[in-house]
Amino acid sequence: MKRRFPVVLAMLALGGCASSRTLSGSVGDIGSDAELKAILFADRTHDYSDVDITVYEGRVMLTGSMHTDEGRKKLVDNAWKADGVVQVIDEIFVGDDTPVGQGIEDARIDSAIRLKYVTDGDVRSSNYKLSVSNGVVYVLGVARDQRELDEALRKASATAGVRGVVSHVVLRSFPPPPPSTNL
């Protein structure tokens, strides 16, 4: 039992490294994320402090809260300004900021789901990015097939404290490689 804990921690730390994504795609997402954060930092007209930005293959998912609908619309407009953005997914709630206690619970839920993904051979954790806001899990990514997607969503919804799961996952559009015929 003592040996499994360091292995699981190492797997969590390296989970994003073992991916079927291309290096240029990952670098592009990092660039889009950094550019969008710089745009939001420069825009002093609204408070974006309770907004989470998740980028995967040029798809930007916005979660969290804004105080006004005007602020939410400005956030979405700003998201389109970052290079490499091909889609903006608006999951922003208009209302008060997330209370500190709920933020801690959201972080616990996020960690619990990531651990399930990393330790499950049926779900490739690097295919998914998560954002948890007020107990709702938002999933972004590309599933290998419907079975993997169903399992990923089932694991998320079965996690204690989850109030709902919203999927923005697409299925991989190319067929998987043929099975190995090496004997």
- Residue 4 has a pLDDT of 42
If asked whether residues 56 and 85 sit together in one domain, one would say: yes
Cα 147 to Cα 136, 143, 174: the distances in Å are 22, 9, 15
Query: Helix crossing, 146-157 with 100-119: angle to 10°?
Result: 140
CATH of the domain at 136: 3.30.1340
- Residue 1 has a pLDDT of 45
- Could you give the angle at the alpha carbon of 164 between the alpha carbons of 162 and 168, nearest 5°? 120
Q: What is the largest CA-CA distance in the chain?
A: 64
Examine the fold and report which residue of 77, 94, 111 is the final residue of a domain before the chain moves on: 94
Number of domains in the chain: 2
pLDDT tens series, the chain, 183 aa = 444 434 333 333 333 333 445 666 688 889 899 999 999 999 999 999 999 999 999 999 999 999 999 999 999 999 999 999 999 999 999 999 889 999 999 999 999 999 999 998 889 999 999 999 999 999 999 999 999 999 999 999 999 999 999 999 999 876 555 555 554
As given in the structure block, the two tokens for residue 105 are: 């619970």
Q: Is 160 among the domain residues?
A: yes
CATH of the domain at 48: 3.30.1340.30
If asked whether residues 166 and 103 sit together in one domain, one would say: yes
- Residue 170 has a pLDDT of 95
- Could you give the angle at the alpha carbon of 73 between the alpha carbons of 40 and 62, nearest 5°? 60
Q: Is 183 among the domain residues?
A: no
How far apart are the C-alpha atoms of 150 and 23, rounded to whole Å?
A: 27
Tokens 């997402």, residue located: 29
The range of the structural domain enclosing residue 56 comes to: 23-94
If asked whether residues 61 and 119 sit together in one domain, one would say: no
Examine the fold and report which residue of 31, 61, 94 is the final residue of a domain before the chain moves on: 94
Examine the fold and report which residue of 94, 116, 148 is the final residue of a domain before the chain moves on: 94
